[in-house]
Amino acid sequence: MLQEVLQQQHQHINVMLRVTPGISAHTHEYDQTGQVDSKFGFDIQSGQAFEALEKVLAIDSMNMLGIHAHIGSQIFEVNGFQMAAKKLIETLADWNQRIGYEAKVLNVGGGFGIRYTEDDDPIAPEEFVDAIVKTVKQETSSKGLITPAIWIEPGRSIVGPAGYNLYTVGSRKDVEGIRSYVTVDGGMGDNIRPALYQADYEAVLASNPTAPIAETVRVAGKYCESGDILIKEQALPASKPGDVLVMLATGAYGYSMASNYNRNPRPAVVFCENGEAKLVISRETYDDLISHDLTI
């Protein structure tokens, strides 16, 4: 398909092959992307990846730049990345021996874990990078290969902790002997992760993040779904309607996954730095929601 597009457009492009190294990261099933039974990438074990390599090399409009893998997200251990790097180098050594191919780039993906709750204990991104680079250099040297450029994708570890979702507290429901629900004016439309794969978060009151804890509540979203629960168990100070609740560490997969679920407009995005705030994405209106509707 790509070859047809290139022929039609008279273009030449760089190509990297994403492969599945057969490594399962220690994370949620939905966040695993490097195992053999995955929708992602060409499988190494069956020879599928080598077949793809030969096809790319036979196409003049494609420059086979290198190899890429991504084993998953929210990972807290370096050994998975080290195993992936070793498998990729092993694959490149095989390709080099069989047809003399030398990769210019080796991309080991990303997925470095961040702190969403007090139970998370992430290591610094630098530790991941150091372990990956050392492994790649050692493996390429031992196999007599030229060390390619090493690409790493640290996205979540940088932008995740930098973002917050702000919600306004609305109604409250106390179920005697079971739990209390505090409902806010957002939910799975602006953060699908808790409903999609049970992602955990923590929240604080914007007015006083360090106020003494008074109770534990379940933070519920406004959408008509029982699964629209933002935080299952959250210790909070006493709250009242109109209070602003801040959900922490939503910078990586919050707005980027937001939708108009149940025909709701998406919230605004504001950047803050050094005591100054700037609106960067305006709040959607109901007119925005129907702007593509056609009159029959």
- The catalytic position among 224, 277, 290, 294 is 224
Cα dihedral sign, 90-94-100-103: negative
Measure the CA dihedral 31/247/215/226, to 10°.
-60
CA distance 191 to 195: 8
Q: Among this protein's residues, is 224 annotated catalytic?
A: yes
3 state DSSP class of 165: strand
Tell me which amino acid residue 163 is: G
Element (H, E) at 278: strand 276-281
Give me the active site residues, please: 224
